[in-house]
Amino acid sequence: MKKLLLIPLLLIGCSGPTADATSYLKETISFPSKNILGIENLFNDDLNKQESLEVFGVLHFPNNYNAAQAYPVIVASHGSSNWREHHLQYIEQMRQADFIVFAMHPFDSRGVNSTVGNQMNVTSETMIYEMAMSLNLLWDDPRFDNTKIYSAGWSLGGTAALFNAWVPLQQALNKPGASYAGYLLWYPGCLALPDNNDWDSDVFQIYMGEEDNYVPPEPCVELVSEINSGGGNAKITLYPRSFHSFDGPNPLRLNPDAYSWNNCKFKLNAVTKKVYDPNNINLKFSDPAARVTAYRSCAVKGEVMVGFNPKYKNSAFDALANLLPTLR
């Protein structure tokens, strides 16, 4: 593990229920990663053929950090617009609950600001891989209680956390015996899900707007039911009259650059590990140009509503405040 910085930094607090301007310890750590195109390229020898690079993440330590104590950890990833104000509020909330937070920086590591309207400059597979590598990075470090390392993410980052709960991917990428102890997901894309039911049985919590038309909630509802039918511990909380980023800093508005995935019915073949469309078997997803064509076959631009619902803006923060003590 290569440690780059270990210095107290100043976090400028944001307005909101968990905001707090305070000086605390951060540490930036670099680690090896890859750029992945195609879910199947996360497996076996195909993984070694993917482009490698060095990325970084930032550890956010709780106040009054005690180096003699092993802390629970939350590995967190932002969504398609990078780290935003409300994400930092959640990090602060987690710190105040005495968790160490490892904030992934997949975009900043690659000089990318956003994938809105693109989704190719940093793929979901890359985020999935980096979430797994973050677990491996922290697993043997004595500062962390590796029985209590949780995966968390918003939107695209939520999708990364989601797939890290899929057992075949854990078996392919995780260190022997390593797995996340639970999964906290804010409006993830429950898209291209595996056509088998082989999920981690640990805590799995989704927070989502009932009217989300960026990534539809219905597949997430179905996924929760499927996980529980296999003996899992999954829950989804849907907030009425709420859209994507219902807990964010900006009022509800149309995002003209975002694609709605409501009409996309992609699946993941659990044997070949390839994404497919049951209604169009000719679509391909592991070639850049073909993948763009596949996306445009069902995704619709100019319909996505994004922004907070005043009634429920703080609801997920309140729910998390009740959940975090049970995870320690």
pLDDT tens for 221-278 read 999 999 999 999 999 999 999 999 999 999 999 999 899 999 999 999 999 999 999 9
- Percent share of the chain, pLDDT over 70: 92
Q: Is the pLDDT of residue 291 over 90?
A: no
- Cβ neighbourhood burial of 293 (10 Å; 0-12, 13-18, 19+): middle
Distance CA 70, CA 325 (A): 16
Dihedral pair phi/psi, residue 5, rounded to 5°: -140, 145
User: With bands split at pLDDT 50, 70 and 90, how would you rate the model's confidence at 120?
Assistant: low
The amino acid at 93: Q
pLDDT for residue 10: 33
Tokens standing for 317?
């923060």
pTM: 0.91
Sort strands 305-306 and 300-301 into parallel, antiparallel or unpaired.
unpaired
What class is the 2-327 domain? Answer: alpha beta
* Domain residue spans of the chain: 2-327
Q: Is the pLDDT of residue 16 over 80?
A: no
275-276: strand order across its sheet: 193-194, 267-268, 275-276
Q: Which bin fits 34, alpha (ψ -120 to 50), beta or left (φ > 0)?
A: beta
- Residue 282's pLDDT is 83
CA distances from 150 to 144, 285, 319 (A): 11, 29, 16
Between the two ends of the chain, the Cα-to-Cα distance in Å is 25
Q: Which residues pair with 1 in a beta bridge?
A: none
The lowest-confidence range among 7-16, 136-145, 226-235 is 7-16
